[in-house]
């Protein structure tokens, strides 16, 4: 019998990036006993990689900006599939969350008149991203971390949650292990908030870290929660492509916001040829107009490099496919034509990153960039007000939750999403926990079974290397369910996943449980396989191209699919895929979107 | 390109040894790539921390040929080709396993610093030049390389008495925020042990974020502590007026 320690909380938050920290701060403030679990050390979560900024209609640079314009931009960027209420709450509340971070000690860059500086980003009508150079995520996480450690919560670092436990229909706790010791832990909790981030490690070229294995997505799915929009995986248009070891590492959209232009091997500024009909009126018609915009001319329209990420990523793929790519299979992103001091001040960490890792100076030469798996728009379906999942006691926030970003997320909308909905999830979970008359009961036999399952990979006399199986999965997903998809490849992906699942269930782990990456990998692999299947099945279902989901066999928008989300839930142990109508938007919001089509 | 001979510390709190691995090298590889290559192909249980792989999270600190570095930002072509490379855990903190060390002392130390405390009626309008200094300190990625090289912590193991450069930088970031009103000087002097630092600048040399830790953070804080507690004129002024100056 495997032993485990037991901890008791009202609210257990899984994940300590921006959303998890903000949720735990809120729950603690509401007086419930709160535990926060993170897979890495505190302060190392993926939020730290967010560079460009946090979108909020603070209107300190462009006074014309309002939440209504932010709402419209977000819906339009998401191709109208976003949950309207999430997009509305996000646009309305993000300025308040920016001010709150400032009051908690975050120091955003300033404008000449002493307000918060805001920069331009793709799909945003106005300069809207509050930022600190190009290390905004670090500022957010450090601010929340320092606030959090004084808020009364317990923090359990390097702890992985592997199972959710239920009492009947409702959440009763979570099971997992501490990486450092390898020992098991049972958290008894009235409510669990999943803030585990994304799924990028299912792909070969990704900006995501080892942590991004879809843990929260799969925990929720297996607990019976509805998953929504899983087909929408954002490929950020600009990841590094050279040298090979850093392929996929993020190059912030701030480069383009601050004047960077995309060029092909012939030196052509190709984005002018890829402006979609729906965005024609928002974008500069010529290089001359784009330059005027950059110089601050309010009459001029944005450069086409600031089209949404889905559009830019597809354009880059086309250029490379048609033989106009850069030497290492990307395109060129050039900001070297601008003043070098300006570039170093606005983009210090990009300057440093390319200097150290690629041995080149971005103030002198163009960067080579290409798409990289970056962000899952899909996730746990939640109630916009409380972030409650469809399983009682389960909540989700940040990248693990779905709905907010629809078919494509605008840059900068993630950091604001984390704190707007992190706060709401913390509140929702705390209120739910308070409303329970008695604590749900954990079935101890179930906890025993979790422990037994986790140890299986140690018991095999022979078996495959878990890292090798993971790499096979990444190659397969990149090929069959990447940026451009079709039915044949997606079916091949689903078949291949069955084979990979078999291989994963036979991996062998050696050594002890103490800080053993091989063992940890074997455990994470299970989630990666399930989340990949959720993604592939949803992608197969949506027979159109929209936002981040591109189907060669259905290259256009489809009116019927404009009205539905793809929802997946677990029924009788299998994935049940359904199309469900979008929630009905109130007339006053419809009016804001008049004249806009997806 | 030829293979690399990578010599890695393998062991735990009880002790360990250096073991040799051969790793194929490709263009642009960093030390972390080589270590992860050993982990994924030769020894799955090799323990090491990493996250962002772009110098932004400060997880993969180690000593490469004896010099503290972020493994993800250290290119292999920095070293002479054909010579073995030795990677050991950072020395100041106890080994958990292999390259992963127990850095929990840092998180405990951080908790004792009085958090940001703004004026009740603060005017949140302030200018870039007001915050440039504090922003420098907020660049810190908590890699703890400065803690690792600080001889007060590394050689004398005075963790009970001295908070170390990382937390002097953090305190400086708070003290130099234009709207912060908390007073951390007595804490710096008594519990923080700022007097232990004798400004050898080892911390500044290893900072991957190039924060001028000694000159801009520690010396500035030392001056404030001296002004408060050791300057006879200030002492007399306080005695006569009962006022403290921040």
Q: Which residue has the tokens 């990841």?
A: A239
**Digit-coded pLDDT (tens) for A509-565:** 999 999 999 999 999 999 999 999 999 999 999 999 999 999 999 999 999 999 999
**A-chain residues within 8 Å CB-CB of B111?**
149-150
- Probe site for chain B from A60, A105, A246 (most B CB atoms < 10 A): A105
- Round the CA-based radius of gyration of chain A to a whole number and report it: 23
| Average pLDDT over chain A, rounded to an integer | 96
Element at A476 (helix H, strand E)? helix A466-480
Element at A488 (helix H, strand E)? helix A487-504
How much is the average pLDDT of A383-399?
Answer: 98
Picking from A410, A333, A373, the residue whose alpha carbon sits closest to that of residue A55 is: A410
Task: Classify A21 as helix, strand or coil.
Answer: helix
**Digit-coded pLDDT (tens) for A450-484:** 999 999 999 899 999 999 999 999 999 999 999 99
Alpha carbon distances (Å) from A508 to A28, A305, B11, B45, B198: 41, 47, 21, 11, 52
**B-chain residues within 8 Å CB-CB of A468?**
40
Is-contact A407 A308, C-beta < 8 A?
Answer: no
Q: DSSP labels for B182-216?
A: ---HHHHHTTS-GGG-----HHHHH-TT---IIII
Q: Which residue of the set A83, A179, A217, A256 is catalytic? A: A256
How much is the average pLDDT of A488-505?
Answer: 98
- The contacts of residue A371 (CB under 8 Å, 6+ apart) are A205, A235, A236, A237, A238, A239, A313, A316, A317, A483
- State the Cα–Cα distance between residues A389 and B130, nearest whole angstrom: 44
Q: Which residue has the tokens 């901890």?
A: A7
- Residue A44, CB half-sphere, CA atoms under 13 Å: how many? 28
Element at A500 (helix H, strand E)? helix A487-504
Task: Classify A406 as helix, strand or coil.
Answer: coil
**Predicted local confidence at residue B183, as pLDDT:** 95
Q: DSSP labels for A76-114?
A: HHTTT-S-HHHHHHHHHHHHHHHHHHHHTT----B-TTS
- Walk along chain B (246 residues) and give the pLDDT tens digit of each residue: 689 999 999 999 999 999 999 999 999 999 999 999 999 999 999 999 999 999 999 999 999 999 999 999 999 999 999 999 999 999 999 999 999 999 999 999 999 999 999 999 999 999 999 999 999 999 999 999 999 999 999 999 999 999 999 999 999 999 999 999 999 999 999 999 999 999 999 999 999 999 999 999 999 999 999 999 988 877 777 778 876 554
**Predicted local confidence at residue B246, as pLDDT:** 47
Tokens of B16: 């360990």
**Predicted local confidence at residue B243, as pLDDT:** 66
CB contact under 8 A, B116 and A519: no
Task: Note which residues in 548-577 of chain A have CB less than 8 A from chain B.
Answer: none
How much is the average pLDDT of A214-220?
Answer: 98
- Probe site for chain A from B11, B25, B48, B53 (most A CB atoms < 10 A): B53
- State the Cα–Cα distance between residues A582 and A592, nearest whole angstrom: 17
**Predicted local confidence at residue A67, as pLDDT:** 98
Task: Note which residues in 441-460 of chain A have CB less than 8 A from chain B.
Answer: none
pLDDT at residue A54 greater than cutoff 90: yes
Q: Is A104 on the interface with B (CB under 8 A)?
A: yes
User: Residues of chain A with pLDDT > 90: what percent?
Assistant: 96
Is-contact A481 A536, C-beta < 8 A?
Answer: yes
CB contact under 8 A, A357 and B28: yes
CB contact under 8 A, A150 and B115: yes
State which residue of chain B sits closest to A348, comparing Cα positions.
Answer: B209
Concerning whether A351 is annotated as a catalytic residue, the answer is no
Q: What is the ipTM of this complex?
A: 0.95
Q: Which residue of the set A22, A124, A217, A236 is catalytic? A: A236
φ, ψ of residue B52 in degrees (nearest 5): -80, -30
**Predicted local confidence at residue A598, as pLDDT:** 52
Q: Count H helices, E strands: chain B?
A: 10, 7
């Amino acid at each position: 019998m495997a032993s485990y320690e037991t901890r008791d909380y009202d609210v257990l938050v899984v994940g300590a990036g921006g959303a998890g920290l903000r949720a735990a701060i809120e729950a603690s403030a509401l007086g419930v006993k709160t535990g926060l679990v993170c897979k890495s050390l505190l302060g190392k979560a993926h939020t730290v990689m967010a560079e460009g900024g946090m979108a909020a209609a603070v209107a300190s640079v462009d006074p014309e900006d309002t939440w209504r314009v932010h709402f419209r931009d977000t819906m339009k960027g998401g191709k109208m599939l976003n949950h309207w209420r999430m997009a509305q709450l996000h646009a309305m509340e993000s300025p308040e969350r920016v001010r709150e971070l400032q009051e908690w000690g975050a120091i955003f860059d300033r404008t000449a008149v002493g307000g918060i500086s805001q920069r331009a980003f793709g799909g945003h009508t106005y300069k809207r991203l509050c930022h600190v150079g190009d290390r905004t995520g670090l500022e957010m996480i450090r601010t929340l971390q320092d606030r959090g450690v004084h808020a009364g919560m317990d923090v359990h670092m390097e702890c992985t949650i592997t199972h959710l436990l239920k009492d009947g229909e409702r959440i009763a706790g979570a099971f997992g292990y501490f990486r450092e010791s390898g020992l098991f832990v049972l958290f008894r909790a009235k409510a669990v908030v999943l803030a585990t981030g994304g799924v990028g490690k299912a792909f070969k070229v990704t900006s995501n870290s080892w942590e991004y294995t879809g843990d929260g997505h799969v925990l929720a799915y297996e607990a019976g929660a509805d998953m929504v929009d899983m087909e929408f995986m954002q490929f950020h248009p600009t990841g590094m492509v050279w040298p090979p070891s850093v392929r996929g590492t993020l190059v912030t959209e701030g480069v383009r916001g601050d004047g960077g232009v995309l060029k092909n091997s012939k030196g052509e500024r190709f984005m002018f040829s890829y402006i979609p009909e729906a965005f024609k009126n928002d974008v500069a018609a010529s290089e001359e107009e784009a330059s005027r915009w950059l110089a601050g001319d309010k009459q001029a329209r944005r450069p086409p490099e600031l089209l949404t990420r889905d559009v830019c990523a597809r354009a880059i793929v086309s250029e490379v496919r048609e033989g106009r790519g850069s030497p290492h299979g990307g395109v060129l992103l050039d900001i070297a034509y601008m003043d070098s001091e300006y570039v170093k001040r606005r983009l210090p960490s990009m300057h440093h990153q390319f200097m150290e890792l690629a041995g080149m100076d971005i103030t002198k030469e163009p960067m080579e960039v290409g798409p990289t798996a970056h962000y899952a728009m899909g996730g746990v379906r939640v109630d916009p007000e409380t972030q409650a999942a469809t399983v009682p006691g389960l909540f989700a926030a940040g990248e693990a939750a779905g709905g907010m970003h629809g078919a494509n997320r605008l840059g900068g909308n993630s950091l604001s999403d984390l704190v707007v909905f992190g706060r709401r999830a913390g509140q929702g979970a705390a209120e739910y926990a308070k409303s329970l008359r008695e604590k749900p009961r954990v079935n101890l036999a179930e906890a025993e079974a979790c422990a037994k399952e986790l140890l299986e990979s140690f018991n095999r006399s022979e078996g495959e290397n878990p890292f090798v199986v993971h790499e096979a999965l990444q190659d397969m997903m990149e090929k069959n369910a990447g940026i451009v998809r079709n039915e044949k490849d997606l079916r091949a992906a689903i078949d291949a996943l069955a084979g990979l699942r078999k291989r994963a269930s036979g991996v062998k782990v050696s050594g002890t449980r103490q800080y053993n990456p091989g063992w940890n990998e074997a455990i994470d692999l299970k989630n990666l396989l399930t989340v990949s299947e959720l993604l592939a099945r949803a992608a197969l279902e949506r027979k159109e191209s929209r936002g981040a989901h591109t189907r060669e066999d259905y290259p256009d928008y489809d009116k019927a699919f404009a009205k539905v989300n793809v929802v997946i839930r677990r029924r009788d142990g299998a994935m049940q895929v359904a199309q469900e109508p979008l929630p009905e938007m109130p007339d006053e919001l419809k009016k804001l979107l008049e004249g806009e089509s997806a | 390109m030829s293979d690399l001979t990578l010599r890695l510390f393998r062991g735990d709190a009880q002790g360990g040894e250096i073991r040799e691995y051969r790793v194929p090298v490709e263009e642009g590889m960093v030390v972390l790539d080589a270590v992860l290559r050993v982990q994924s192909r030769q020894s799955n249980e090799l323990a090491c921390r990493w996250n962002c792989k772009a110098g932004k999270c400060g997880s993969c600190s180690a000593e490469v040929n004896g010099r503290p570095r972020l493994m993800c930002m250290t290119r292999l072509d920095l070293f002479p080709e054909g010579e073995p490379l030795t990677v050991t855990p950072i020395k100041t903190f106890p080994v958990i396993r292999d390259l992963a060390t127990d850095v929990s002392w840092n998180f405990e130390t951080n908790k004792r610093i009085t958090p940001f405390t703004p004026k009740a009626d603060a005017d949140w309008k302030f200018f870039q030049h007001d915050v440039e200094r504090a922003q420098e300190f907020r660049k810190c990625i908590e890699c703890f390389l400065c803690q690792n090289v600080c001889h007060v912590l590394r050689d004398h193991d005075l963790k009970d008495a001295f908070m170390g450069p990382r937390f002097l930088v953090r305190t400086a970031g708070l003290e130099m925020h234009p709207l912060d009103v908390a007073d951390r000087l007595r804490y710096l002097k008594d519990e923080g042990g700022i007097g232990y630092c004798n400004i050898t600048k080892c911390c500044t040399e290893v900072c991957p974020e190039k924060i001028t830790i000694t000159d801009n953070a520690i010396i500035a804080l030392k001056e404030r502590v001296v002004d408060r507690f050791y300057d006879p004129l200030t002492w007399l002024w306080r005695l006569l007026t009962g006022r403290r100056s921040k």
